[in-house]
Amino acid sequence: MGKKKLKVVYLFILFSFILSGCTNLQYVNNYSTSSLESIQKFEELNSSFNQSCLDKCEERKIEALTIAQEECSCKENEKADSITLLIYYAVRGYFDGLTNLSNGDLTNYQMDTLNNALTDGQFGDVKFDKTQVDACSNIVKIILKSGTDHYRGKKIKAYVKEANFPIKVLINFLDFNLSENLYAKLDVQKERITSSCFDITKNNKYTIAEKRDVVENYYKQLASIEAKQKELLTYSKALKIIAIGHQNLSDNIDKLKEDDIKQELTQYASKIKDIIAEYNKIKH
């Protein structure tokens, strides 16, 4: 085989290697990107522990017909929000890192400025030919991408494995605080306003028109609380899929080239995207 043919075979193998590496990390990036987008929906949630405390305080003032400007004591609820936020930041930070690192563009190094500097400049008697510079630059680019992608892939594997247990714990507790504790506090609020509304409807001091206003307002409040609960449940659904997806990614991180693994990761990304759409539908 001639030297030229050997070069072609070598380049072909190199290209295949690079392309397969990129494609595998692309599946990790798809899963990670949709997970990150979904996790960030936390910032759009309309409920919080502190808000629930403030609502309760306001309801008390309305019931007692007081306009006193006294502060509501919500310190414990503020603490609950800070802890939930702390967990959220940690989870978001991890997926942000994974998304950035698995992004193929990270290692698509731009050589144009170097090429232009070499071809435009006059280095004494030496003048570089544009075609030769471009050819050399492309080879350097391929080798550079191959090396950095290999390094990137190796690092991602190690990070995903190391992070699997703690990220699942954090996602589970973020979910626990939102879909169990905060959700249930909204149930408490529903029970409280129902009782309050019932008392007014049974109180003969109020006119029928006044009672109607109270009942109308009650249903509005109820609908608003239920919308907040729906948001929390949808968010919780996304967190659960992200956690399962991460377990799957960690279990199969050494087998990313296999088609069924790629397909599974695509399915997780797609399920998460569906939930984002569902969440956006509730919001609008």
**Residue 241 contacts residue 272 (beta carbons within 8 Å):** yes
Residues numbered 59-78 forming contacts with another protein, rule: CB under 8 A: 76-77
Minimal distance in Å, beta carbon 218 to another protein?
Answer: 13
Distance CA 9, CA 12 (A): 5
Q: Stretches 22-30, 167-175, 213-221, 231-239: which one binds another protein (CB under 8 A)?
A: 167-175
Nearer to another protein, 3 or 202 (CB): 202
According to CB under 8 A, which one of 65, 123, 204, 284 is a site residue for another protein? 123
Nearer to another protein, 168 or 273 (CB): 168
Distance CA 237, CA 216 (A): 32
Q: Stretches 33-41, 198-206, 220-228, 232-240: which one binds another protein (CB under 8 A)?
A: 198-206
According to CB under 8 A, which one of 43, 120, 259, 260 is a site residue for another protein? 120
Nearby residues of 153 by Cβ (< 8 Å), 6 or more positions away: 21, 24, 25
**Residue 47 contacts residue 183 (beta carbons within 8 Å):** no
Q: What backbone phi and psi angles, to 5 degrees, belong to 123?
A: -100, 80
- Asked if 86 is part of the footprint of another protein (rule: CB under 8 A), the reply reads yes
Minimal distance in Å, beta carbon 3 to another protein?
Answer: 30
Minimal distance in Å, beta carbon 4 to another protein?
Answer: 29
- Asked if 85 is part of the footprint of another protein (rule: CB under 8 A), the reply reads no
According to DSSP, the residues that pair with 123 across neighbouring strands are 126
Residues numbered 21-50 forming contacts with another protein, rule: CB under 8 A: 49
120 alpha carbon, distance to own chain's centre: 45
According to CB under 8 A, which one of 114, 135, 223, 227 is a site residue for another protein? 114
- Asked if 98 is part of the footprint of another protein (rule: CB under 8 A), the reply reads yes
Nearest to 130 by CA among 139, 121, 142: 121
Residues that bind another protein (CB under 8 A): 49, 52-53, 56, 76-77, 79-80, 83-84, 86-87, 90-91, 93-94, 96-98, 100-101, 106-107, 109-111, 113-114, 116-118, 120-124, 144, 148, 151-152, 155, 159, 162-163, 165-167, 169-170, 173, 176-177, 180-182, 184-185, 187-188, 191-192, 194-195, 198-199, 202
